[in-house]
Each structure stands twice: as C-alpha cells, then as structure tokens.
C-alpha cells in the first residue's frame, strides 16, 4: 500500500542545499545528488587534506583548502588537480 511505502521512503535531509534534500528514488539518484553537493565535495577535500598532511586542518590552512576546491572545480572535477593543489601548497611544503 502507499501508506506502507511512505514509511520506507529514503530522504536526504538537513543539507540546506536546494536540489539535494528530498525523497530519493534509488541508489543512482542518491549518488547523483551527493555528487552535486557542495558539502560532500568540501568534506572529501578536508579528508584528502587530513590524509596527505597527516593532521587535521587549522584556520591557517584555509587558503590551501579554498585553492584545492578551486582547482577541483576549475578542472571540471579532476581528483588529480585537487591532489596537485594540496601537494604543492604551503601547508604541505612547510608541514611540521
């Protein structure tokens, strides 16, 4: 019944991003929506930063994170450009 199917509807909520929040039709819909999310992109960039720097980001790393996101977006979403940006940043070159 439709009442029962409403109980099992998967939804994305709380992102505050238009076009992301709402009911999800299937796994493909979920993946495509998450791929468009600025929050997901920024989270992935932060996790890459943490992995390659070996530490959490600090306020002084904000320019590095902004530049990494810009490199990723300007390249049309190339992960390699994100990595080049991170690994040539002052945060990486002068890490302690």
Mean pLDDT of 56-75: 96
The distance from CA 78 to its chain's CA centroid, rounded to whole angstroms, is 13
37 near 21, Cβ under 8 Å?
A: no
Q: What's the whole-model pTM score?
A: 0.78
What DSSP string runs through 37-48? -HHHHHHHHHHH
Q: Tens digit of pLDDT for each residue in 3-59?
A: 555 556 788 988 889 889 999 999 999 999 999 999 999 999 999 999 999 999 999
The predicted structure's pLDDT at residue 42: 94
């Amino acid at each position: 019944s439709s009442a029962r199917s409403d109980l099992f509807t998967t939804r994305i909520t709380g992102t505050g991003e238009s076009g992301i929040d709402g009911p999800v039709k299937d796994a493909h819909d979920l993946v495509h929506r998450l791929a468009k999310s600025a929050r997901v992109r920024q989270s992935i960039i932060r996790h890459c930063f943490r992995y390659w720097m070996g530490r959490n980001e600090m306020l002084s790393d904000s320019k590095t994170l902004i530049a990494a996101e810009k490199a990723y977006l300007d390249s049309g979403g190339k992960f390699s450009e994100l990595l080049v940006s991170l690994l040539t940043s002052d945060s990486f070159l002068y890490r302690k």
